[in-house]
Amino acid sequence: MSRQKSSAEHGQDALLPHNTRRSLPIALLRAREAVMGHFRPMLAQHEITEQQWRVIRILAETGQVDATEMAEKAFILAPSLTRIIRSLEERGLISKSKDAEDGRRVLLEIAPAGMKVIAEVGPESRAIYATLEAKYGKERVEKLLDMLDDLATLGV
């Protein structure tokens, strides 16, 4: 288990910005990239992006949801979601409809072709996650998730 020197340990430039590798933004980026590096090639083989996978995965879990709810759950900004929805609908993986009670809302639902992707990608995705979890340690993953959630909700 690698242990980095903490900033305090190597008496570095207190005035300059932090050591790049010991700053939260880059550390979070590197960690995320390392994790996605395990998933992306598999997703690419199925010709979907990480974000597209999140969208159809949430539709499979949740059933019909509107765009706002999807944006929150998948953590995708509205303009990106608009494009992703268009692409997924063109490819027949999801279907889109207008909410009858509120004409502003767009309702999303997974299509049969989307369910096929879920059936194919789902098991591979879970296998990769399980391997990752086993390597890092299930307890540490939980601990890390807690700490990340605290960080994300600091200002709330």
The residue ranges that bind DNA (CB under 7 A) are 33, 36, 40-41, 44, 49, 51-52, 66-68, 71, 76-87, 101-106
Site string for a second copy, 92-131 (x = CB under 8 A): ------------------------------x--xx--x--
Closest separation in Å from C-beta 104 to DNA: 4
Applying CB under 8 A, does 155 fall inside the site for a second copy? yes
**Distant-in-sequence, close-in-space partners of 110: CB < 8 Å, separation ≥ 6:** 56, 59, 60, 93, 94, 95, 118
Closest separation in Å from C-beta 109 to a second copy: 17
Contact status, residue 48 vs residue 60, Cβ threshold 8 Å: no
Nearest 5 degrees, angle CA 83-CA 151-CA 42? Answer: 45
Applying CB under 8 A, does 10 fall inside the site for a second copy? no
Closest of 100, 63, 11, 20 to residue 73, by C-alpha: 63
Site string for a second copy, 31-70 (x = CB under 8 A): xxxxxx-xx----------x---x--xx-xx---------
- Rounded to an integer, what distance in angstroms lies between the CA atom of residue 12 and that of residue 151? 25
* Bridge partners (DSSP) listed for residue 109: 95
Partner in contact with 84, chosen from DNA, a second copy, none, beta carbon below 5 to 8 Å by kind: DNA
- Rounded to an integer, what distance in angstroms lies between the CA atom of residue 101 and that of residue 107? 11
Applying CB under 8 A, does 79 fall inside the site for a second copy? no
Nearest 5 degrees, angle CA 39-CA 43-CA 47? Answer: 160
Interface ranges with a second copy (CB under 8 A):
1-4, 6-8, 13, 16-18, 20-36, 38-39, 50, 54, 57-58, 60-61, 73-75, 122, 125-126, 129, 132, 135-136, 140-155
